[in-house]
A and B are shown apart, each in its own frame.
Chain A
Amino acid sequence: MKVHLRNPSRTVEVAGPALVSVVLDRLGVNRESVLVVRNGTIVPGDQRLEDDDEVEVRPVISGGAA
């Protein structure tokens, strides 16, 4: 599957099928720091992603605490 990541913006391939939580673990991404979005919809951690899926791992941490 194609996985789009940000900061910096890049796309990586991850083998599917795999659960969302497994994909995040493989990418070394903390699930508290992101949402996984497919076709504009949030995909929960226990959902299976197929090999031909395209998803965005959207970071939710922002620095505006000043």
Chain B
Amino acid sequence: MKCTVCREPAIIDLRRHNANFCVPHFTKFCRDQVQRAIDEHEMLRPGERALVAVSGGKDSLAVWDLLLDLGVEADGLYVGLGIGSYSDVSHEYAEAYAASRGARLRVVDLVERYGYDIPTGARAARRAPCSACGMSKRHVFDRVALEEGYDVLVTGHNLDDEAAVLFGNVLRWQTEYLGRQRPVLEARDGFPRKVKPLVRLSERETAAYCIVSGIEYQVEECPMAVGNKHLGYKEALNAIEVQSPGTKADFYAGFLRRAASRFEAEAEAERETLGSCAVCGSPTPGEVCAFCRLVERAGGTPGPVPVELGRRSTP
């Protein structure tokens, strides 16, 4: 198999693009896709400070690396979830990457700051672990981005993530969710601006990018994600993709082009119901937000907590 661009030996075939790439041209392909996503959706403007939500996995480290290479001023934020050795190892990968690039990694540990971990929080709130985890991370990411004055919060959601979420939302016709499934969510009261620069890259591509770039990442799946319905949606979509390459990209891009705007009214109606949490001030449709309720049930300490600057790592 030869590289479509230079005819040197290829290391990866991308059937949806009908292309094969060698290492240098695959790296260029990834950078071009991220730049194109940024330009198409006006994700970042020159001089803006970005905060990257970093898990230690392939997607968040890839997006951080790609943004740094594109010249974006980007710090990382790792949230310690307290999921045993899985969290410890993930944290080590995030720290090692930050050190290799001389980048700043901020760290908020849920146990240290709020007095609970994800397993305890999920049990106490009677939520699925992935639900408790996602909600906790979103709360911390939003607060740190706002309190520390970042212009934009960057997440590593890739094409597979977005296609799987879209698939799930369509299966249940969750129209308010469909109305806010965008690669850019503008800032509004209590929420930072959020962008997803990896929406044009599949997770096979982000994993390959990390391998060819020498970025070591947490390969193991989170032990609490077993049975996660999004994993099932991804497997279903990949079963279609292998038969019909390009289906996932067409599904997601077609939604953005031709359907997303039809659901904006539902999303807007939901936004208008939001007030401020009586405990922490975050946006919520109730008196106390879901995060503060979870922390309280788990025996922790909810409310605003100052975030210390992470150390700047040296290469």
Contact = CB atoms under 8 A, between A and B. Distances in A.
B36 interface: no
B196 to A, nearest CB: 11
B1 A63 contact: no
Given A7-B221, A62-B59, A32 B13 contact: no
B58 A41 contact: no
B211 A62 contact: no
Nearest to B218: A62
B20 A44 contact: yes
Interface stretch (B200-208, B262-270, B271-279): B200-208
A54 B137 CA distance: 38
A63 B130 contact: yes
Interface residues of B, number: 44
A35 B14 CA distance: 12
Contacts, number: 96
Nearest to A41: B11
Contacts of B235: 30, 33, 61
Interface residues of A, number: 26
Majority-rule SS of B interface residues: helix
A58 interface: yes
Interface in A4-34: 6-7, 30-34
A41 B188 CA distance: 44
A60 B203 contact: yes
Contact of A62 (B57, B131, B202, B239): B57
B176 interface: no
A40 B208 CA distance: 11
Interface string A33-51: 1110100111111110000
Contact of A30 (B59, B212, B239): B239
B10 interface: yes
Given A44-B12, A59-B221, A63-B231, A33 B134 contact: no
Interface stretch (B140-148, B222-230, B290-298): B222-230
B133 interface: yes
Contacts of A62: 57-59, 203, 221-222, 225
A42 B231 contact: no
Nearest to B221: A7
A61 B219 contact: no
B220 interface: yes
Question: Which of A7, A44, A66 has its CB near the most chain B CB atoms (within 10 A)?
Answer: A66
B76 to A, nearest CB: 15
A63 B207 contact: no
Contact of A65 (B211, B221, B230): B230
Contacts of B131: 66
Contacts of B134: 64, 66
Interface of B: 1, 10-13, 20, 55, 57-59, 130-131, 133-135, 137, 156-157, 160-161, 164-165, 202-204, 206-208, 211-212, 219-222, 225, 228, 230-231, 234-235, 238-239, 241-242
Interface of A: 6-7, 30-35, 37, 40-47, 58-66
10 contacts: A7-B221, A30-B235, A32-B238, A35-B207, A44-B1, A47-B1, A62-B221, A64-B161, A65-B165, A65-B230
Given A60-B207, A61-B234, 10 more contacts: A33-B234, A33-B238, A43-B11, A60-B203, A61-B231, A63-B222, A63-B230, A64-B225, A65-B164, A66-B134
